[in-house]
Amino acid sequence: MLRKLLGGLFGGSEAKPGNAGAAEPVEYHGYQIISEPAEQGGQFRVSGWIRKQGADGEMLEHRFERSDLVPGQEACDQLMVSKAQRFIDQMGEGLFDAR
């Protein structure tokens, strides 16, 4: 109990990174872009998913993570979508290839 009190007084109980929640999917050239920023120290890390229905009906997914930190969640969602669109344009179907 004393540790918790002292930690709170001296900044020892810093918030841990967490998921800020997923935004509504954005459609782009047959792909779904879902921004799911991770909260870190009061800022938001650009991350989320790129999904597309495969020819066999299976949902293909690619986890999209970047090092960018943005002060607001809405701005982070917008940056995620623009970066994902560029990535889709560059990689196409290859983004689902096994690494």
If you average pLDDT over every residue of the chain, what do you get?
Answer: 82
Contacts of 35 (CB under 8 A, 6+ apart): 22, 23, 26, 46, 47, 48, 76, 77, 80, 81
Residue 95: predicted pLDDT: 87
In a domain, 5, yes or no: no
* Domain presence at residue 6: no
pTM of the model: 0.74
In a domain, 48, yes or no: yes
Q: What is the pLDDT of residue 18?
A: 56
Q: Is 81 inside any structural domain?
A: yes
| Domain boundaries, position 36 | 14-96
User: Is 8 inside a domain boundary?
Assistant: no
Q: CA angle, corner 41, sides to 35 and 42, nearest 5?
A: 65
Has residue 92 been placed in a domain? yes
Which tens digits make up the pLDDT trace of 40-67?
999 999 999 999 998 899 999 999 999 9
38 inside domain: yes
Tally of domains within the chain: 1
62 occurs within a structural domain = yes
Concatenated DSSP letters for 26-60?
EEETTEEEEE-PEEETTEEEEEEEEEEE-TTSPEE
